[in-house]
Amino acid sequence: MNSPNSISPLKAKIFVGIIVGAALGFLDGLSSYLTPAARPLFLLIVLSSTFKGFLTGVLTAFIASRTHKLLPAILAGLGIGLILSFLAATLTPDPDGHRYYFQIMLPGAVLGAIVGFSMQKLGGARQRPND
């Protein structure tokens, strides 16, 4: 049974997933400013990338909490990142109707793999020190 000073592994992994996923998603969105064609949609891109990273973190946490192995967590994050990025690229064409699959899916896959890795390395339940 858990002591009152411990955090469940699922909660710890969800916390790490949310923080790492949202932070990396935010940075991914900020990088869109480097593409002049994306500047009119900059705020939308930053917000949607942050949400996509947040969602990748939460979904990956549920899968990663079922195993303590590194590779399945990384592959789960990679797959979830690819799926969410594919949906984002498919559903959001630019004003000319172009879809940027590679430019959206590559960072999404990398983000997911990093989230999966960080969950297994940082998301283990740790005992809180007694006050």
Q: What whole-number distance in Å separates Cα of residue 36 and Cα of residue 20?
A: 27
Question: The tokens of 119 are what?
Answer: 């969950």
Q: 6 phi and psi, to 5 degrees?
A: -110, 155
Of 59, 21, 48, which Cα lies nearest the Cα of 104? 48
pLDDT of residue 67: 83
pLDDT of residue 131: 45
pLDDT tens, the chain, 131 aa long: 455 566 787 788 889 999 999 999 999 999 989 988 788 889 999 999 999 999 999 999 988 888 888 999 999 999 999 999 999 989 887 777 888 899 889 999 999 999 999 988 887 654 445 54
pLDDT of residue 59: 93
Do you know the residue count of the chain? 131
